[in-house]
Amino acid sequence: MIHQLETDYLVIGAGAMGMAFSDVIMTESNATIVLVDKHDRPGGHWNVSYPFVRLHQPSSFYGVNSRKLGNDTKDATGWNQGLYELASGTEVVTYFEQVMQQQFLPTDRVRYFPMCEFQSAGTFSCLVSGKKYAVKVNRKTVDSTYMNVTVPAMSEPSFELEPEVTCVPLNDIPGLHSRGTRFEKYIVIGAGKTGMDAALWLLRNDVDPDHIIWIMPRVSWMLDRKNIQPGPDFMGSTLVGAANELEAIAQSESVEDLFARVNKCGQLLRMDEDIQPTMYRCATVTEMELKQLRRIAHIVRKGRVKRIEADKIILEKGMVETSLNNLHINCTADGLERRPVAPVFDGDQMTLQTVRTCQQVFSAAFIAHIELTYEDETQKNDLCTVVPHPNTDLDFLRTTLGHHLNQARWAQLPELQKWLQIARLDGFTRTDEEIAALPESAHEPLAKLMGNATQATERLQQLLAEIDRN
């Protein structure tokens, strides 16, 4: 028997994006929502994250628009010291559960179906009982799963393993040690933010850096977390950073020169000043974290791992010795992929994607506001021009350009500017009062920012056109 339901919005996925989208629909309209998710609790991949995961950005602009996450305090200790708190994975999951239980469900406008899998054409079924549902959707079906996030615990290693080798996702490293297992050396496999988190966990637990081998198929550009801080305390420094970045881009003579300048002004960081990164995925670090990571001297740059044997690791471009006493930590999952762009608004279907660089929850909330506020689908898609998740160094140019073009589009609409200024998930748009209250010292960077905006945009367009031609 198929159970019939009726709703205004059918949202597939109660991860961070599905939740942030639904929250704006709830607060800015009277619409009803059916939310379907394969997990037992809202929060998506945060349910299967490693125990020591934390947000990579301040809590103060993560989650849903209508509810604060964290206490807006700055860390007093640790390697994020002086910067705004980063919620742990447990806090993030608890937060989304509270949003669901305390805000969404009591309204009777949201019906939530955990442990259910969406199939197609408005149908889904319970993964436990097999119960089937068909939904009559009055407004839109919203796909919040398109970003296809994968974390190491969700996927098998992409390389072969001899059976006696110990290779685990980073989720397992605290538990293995709590149970008393000891290792001679640690092999961190993967150069992304997950690999950095694994390496930092080892260093925080006093593992001798000489006992860590880091396999880095690619080298990453990183963002300095101090430049993505909210609030008046950081307004001056983020303004100076943004102004310097735009000036660097505007004055750049080539792609290499652009990276050199943006690196020099501290907006992009790298592990080793002598090695040119080829990857950019919005990984954030602090200066203190970077200092720690640089203590690891044994970096293997021989491509991806193909196979781990009892005494050696075979890579695309060589091999490195290992032993059965070593722990191999798999940090190779893709996280967020660079996916082909799909239209956000397409008749009665919506596909949630990022419209501001690496700001998934902001993007989902923004798209919900556009859905409710504007009529014309062409205008809606224009305002929600997708800024795909970056992967390579050149994607830094693409995402920066996409970001600035969207900012310029949004600036044309006073209603939208007002929404952005008060949106909790927007850590960046300043109110007129905040700008007016800027100290004298901020006037010069502000003028520099405004003065270089057009030239920087044009320079990015020229450089990308050259890249596309070659």
Q: Which residues of this protein are in contact with ligand FAD, per CB under 6 A? A: 12-18, 36-39, 44-45, 49, 53, 55-57, 62, 117-118, 144-145, 147, 149, 151, 335-336, 359-361
Q: Residue 145 or residue 457: which is nearer to ligand FAD going by CB?
A: 145
Instruction: Provide the residue count of the chain.
Output: 470
Q: Which residue has the tokens 């902001």?
A: 362
Tell me the C-alpha to C-alpha distance, in Å, between residue 56 and each of 61, 119, 300, 463: 11, 32, 25, 30
Residue 100: CB minimum distance to ligand FAD, A: 12
Q: Among 340, 10, 337, which Cα is nearest to 143's?
A: 10
Say which residues have a Cβ less than 8 Å from residue 316's Cβ, sequence separation at least 6.
217, 302, 303, 304, 306
H/E element, 456: helix 443-469
Residue 103: CB minimum distance to ligand FAD, A: 17
CA dist 445 and 207 (Å) reads 43
Residue 378: CB minimum distance to ligand FAD, A: 25
For residue 324, report the phi and psi dihedrals to the nearest 5 degrees. -70, -10
Q: Residue 62 or residue 419: which is nearer to ligand FAD going by CB?
A: 62
Q: Residue 58 or residue 445: which is nearer to ligand FAD going by CB?
A: 58
Residue 412: CB minimum distance to ligand FAD, A: 26
Tell me how crowded residue 67 is: count the other CB atoms within 10 A of its CB.
14
Q: What angle do CA 57, 60, 65 make, to 5 degrees?
A: 115
Bridge partners of 328? 167, 187
Residue 36: CB minimum distance to ligand FAD, A: 5
372 exposure class (CB count in 10 Å sphere: 0-12, 13-18, 19+)? middle
H/E element, 11: strand 2-12
Residue 136: CB minimum distance to ligand FAD, A: 18
| DSSP designation for 75 | P
Q: Residue 45 or residue 328: which is nearer to ligand FAD going by CB?
A: 45
Q: Residue 88 or residue 322: which is nearer to ligand FAD going by CB?
A: 88
Residue 221: CB minimum distance to ligand FAD, A: 17
Q: Residue 155 or residue 461: which is nearer to ligand FAD going by CB?
A: 155
Q: Residue 34 or residue 55: which is nearer to ligand FAD going by CB?
A: 55
Q: Which residue has the tokens 């890249």?
A: 467
For residue 387, report the phi and psi dihedrals to the nearest 5 degrees. -110, 95
Residue 250: CB minimum distance to ligand FAD, A: 28
For residue 174, report the phi and psi dihedrals to the nearest 5 degrees. -65, -45
Q: Among 20, 14, 9, which Cα is nearest to 423's?
A: 20
CA dist 450 and 408 (Å) reads 12
Q: Residue 55 or residue 188: which is nearer to ligand FAD going by CB?
A: 55
CA dist 459 and 159 (Å) reads 41
Q: Name the token pair of 140.
A: 């839109």
Q: Residue 290 or residue 446: which is nearer to ligand FAD going by CB?
A: 290
Q: Name the token pair of 55.
A: 């947000």
Q: Residue 62 or residue 79: which is nearer to ligand FAD going by CB?
A: 62
Residue 214: CB minimum distance to ligand FAD, A: 18
Residue 131: CB minimum distance to ligand FAD, A: 14
* Distance from the first to the final alpha carbon of the chain: 58
